[in-house]
Amino acid sequence: MTKVQISGTGLYTPKEILTNDELVESYNNFVDEFNLENKDKIDKGEIDELQKSNTEFIEKASGVKSRYVQNKSGILDTKFMRPRLRERSESELSNLAEMGVAAAKQAIKNANISTDKIDAVIVACSNLERPYPAIAIEIQNALNINGFAFDMNVACSSATFGIQTIFDMIKSGSIRSALMVNPEICSGHLNFKDRDCHFIFGDVATAVIIEEFDEKSNGPNTYEILGTKLYTEFSNNIRNNYGFLNSSSPEGVDQPDKLFHQNGRQVFKEVVPKVASLIKDHLETNNIKVIDIKAMYLHQANENMNRLISKYILGEEATRDFAPIVLDEYANTSSAGSIIAFHKHNQSLKENDLAIICSFGAGYSIGNVIVRKIS
């Protein structure tokens, strides 16, 4: 039976760092300006007075301390409050493709694979810069990769769903290897005027090389994929209603629902037990005991969620070595979060150690991947 391995990973980190203090100062300036401009309406009770944010609130609610962004000057500008990105001509690489190519080149190098050996490219992320041509095909072209490419979106779970898609293709014999890329400019879908979520996201790109198991060509950091498990369940608690039909309903254009919004408390309450249950069921199906797992690379949305998920699974709170946290530095990077944690912290695993890569988010969607370190 064909075995499948992760041969290498890559990470692109933007150069600009946006701290909580910077973000809070900008948001609070916006609040002062808004409340002053709308004083009459506030006094009449027609609209609510906006409340200020603070760094302590952000860190307690999420664990986020900073994030990397493609552009912070536009985000901090109280008259703009979103990343200011230059529009690319059709002859240039798009924003997502440029990030994706950088991460992909690192993954290809780490996997010690040549591009002529890659059969497919999948871009799996939460937001796509355009409908077509696919960002994946753009990256495929930039890297001179043959075969085929396509984009897919399962929000924060896109990477694990992408891994299973490639896993199944290799198992079926239709391909022997593939590149998966997760470019995320999450700052572009974030409402920086919303106190409850203005701090959540950051920008990044990750990449993973997945190929048919070959014991003779294994690199120094290779992992066999032992199994994958996916789950979805419809929920309105995390939404983004931006789409190509928005202009057909002019009354909704530029409304807050066209950006990320969520019922955070309900998400926490509902998603944590679902994730823990799926992981435990997946391990049991594969005859793996929880005590045999040496690391969990969880989605990086909220540190408190990850602590509770770990506690549900282990019976106690996990150490940071066992369940690494990168969201304090990167914030929530949607599909890329669990891959960042895996990329930066898997070096501690020893040969034959078992670990999981798990993502969860809008949909609801949950994806889990069990891996065994080969070398």
Q: How far apart are CA 191 and CA 261, in angstroms?
A: 8
Q: For residues 323-350, b (16+ Cβ closer than 10 Å) or e, as one string?
A: bbbbbebbbbbbbbbbbbbbbebbeebe
| Alpha carbons within 13 A on the beta-carbon side of 150 | 6
* Closest to 148 measured CA to CA, from 161, 167, 171, 166: 166
What are the two backbone dihedrals, phi and then psi, of residue 8, each rounded to the nearest 5 degrees? -175, 155
Q: Which of 156, 186, 197, 358 is catalytic?
A: 156
* Closest to 367 measured CA to CA, from 165, 114, 84, 96: 165
| One-character DSSP codes across 5-16 | EEEEEEEE--SE
Q: How far apart are CA 34 and CA 45, in angstroms?
A: 15
Place of tokens 């796509």: 128
The residues, any chain, with a CB within 8 Å of residue 337's CB and separated by 6 or more, are 156, 299, 300, 301, 326, 327, 330, 359
Helix (H) or strand (E) holding 147: none
Establish whether 197 is a catalytic residue: no
Q: What residues are labeled active site?
A: 156
